[in-house]
Amino acid sequence: MSSLSLDAVPGARPLTRKDYKTLSLSALGGALEFYDFIIFVFFAAVVGRLFFPADMPEWLRQLQTFGIFAAGYLARPLGGIIMAHFGDLLGRKRMFTLSIFMMAVPTLLMGLMPTYAQIGIWAPIILLLLRVIQGAAIGGEVPGAWVFVSEHVPDRHVGYACGTLTAGLTAGILLGSLMATLINSVYSPAEVLDWAWRIPFLLGGVFGLLAVYLRRWLHETPVFAELQLRKALADELPLKAVVREHRAAVVLSMLLTWVLTAGIVVVILMTPTLLQTQYGFDAATALKANSLAIVFLSFGCVAAGALADRFGAGRVLVIGSLLLAAVSWTFYSSLRANPDWLFPLYAATGLAVGVIGTVPYVMVKAFPAVVRFSGLSFSYNLAYAIFGGVTPMLVTLLLKADPLGPAYYVAALCGLGLAVGLYLLGRERRVA
């Protein structure tokens, strides 16, 4: 069944005030939810000292702390699949609201939790449980948000909607970075360790619950409403239909997610640490440059989505992949000789990473509406769990062989993005 035949939103009409309201509330909620998910990593060192035994070796404490952080990623596929299943059967809005509630409450509880000194081994166990719930929530939020906004807007604005939502998610990373910088600037290390570390978690929980309230004003998508009206909802397990009938769409979506992880995990999440360990920048300078890169990434996501609407995803992926390969290679290879170029080069690289704004556009279009949430969620979360987890280890191994290891990895994934873009470009021309 074609997804286009089920789109109840006319493709020719312009975006209305109601559309912009939906996009704004969705992007705001996504930013707050991603902030809740990512804030843990910015305070990992403090959490490790407070939630594990004081006499534990530092390397083991850090390993276990990041293990708890990684548990959130491992929980993403299962949480995403379950929430997508009910999203395809009961409605997009219900799962869209549930996901942010499941993120906000654990974040709030993390800020209120007693430490290892107070309750012993129960502290890390409860922390792990809360992190797993967060992972399940983000597994439903990201694909659910893309599906939700894409089914609300006219067909010719799907790329812009997905790009805007993706920009909101990246803004959540920026909020986490800025909050960590603020807390560590205002309070002394002793105060942060004593009580100030709780502030970002408490604020995240409160703002998350506010986002739950704001999402009450959103309406079910016209596409799902028409599916209900026609009684055309999936008559079997949606994921079963995805695996049986849409394998090509699953493979395409997983490959594009791999490209996405190269941009986000390497360029945005790993590079601030690399700037300090490999290039000799201090932490404050690295974080400021990273914040600037994220701002430009957000602009890049919106631009890439809008360009995909205008020129097709294939062309944008081809040009964007070539641009990212060139700019990121210049960034990693030039910094040692030209440290003064850090801010403009990192900003340009962040803007080029914005090509990932086309990824949700392609994935949303790849699956018919009746199983869209399940298909997108299964592909995206499974690929992110695999590639998002493997990427840091691969880049670390490459670094041992060559200081330009990150540049090689990003360039290789740009090659994959280029190949997928050429495939899509050929398909778009055949359809035209």
Q: What's the confidence (pLDDT) of residue 3?
A: 40
pLDDT value of residue 154: 87
Q: What is the pLDDT of residue 4?
A: 37
> In angstroms, rounded to a whole number, what is the distance separating the alpha carbons of residues 346 and 358?
21
d(C-alpha 259, C-alpha 265), whole Å: 10
Q: What long-range pairs does 332-339 form, CB within 8 A, spacing at least 24?
A: 332/404, 332/406, 332/407, 332/410, 333/404, 333/407, 335/275, 335/279, 336/279, 339/279, 339/280, 339/281
Domain 234-427 CATH (choose: 1.20.1250.20, 3.30.470.20, 1.10.1740.10, 1.10.10.10)? 1.20.1250.20
All structural domains of the chain with their residue ranges:
16-230, 234-427
Please identify, in words, the CATH class of the domain defined by 16-230: mainly alpha
Which of 305, 295, 319 shows the shortest CA–CA distance to 356? 305
Q: What is the largest CA-CA distance in the chain?
A: 67
* Sites in the chain below the pLDDT cut of 70: 1-12, 59, 62, 66, 91-92, 96, 218, 220-236, 432
Domains 16-230 and 234-427 share a fold: yes
The string of pLDDT tens digits covering residues 366-422 is: 998 888 888 898 899 889 888 877 887 788 888 888 889 899 999 999 999 999 999
- In 3D space, the residue among 86, 365, 366, 369 whose CA is nearest the CA of residue 232 turns out to be 369
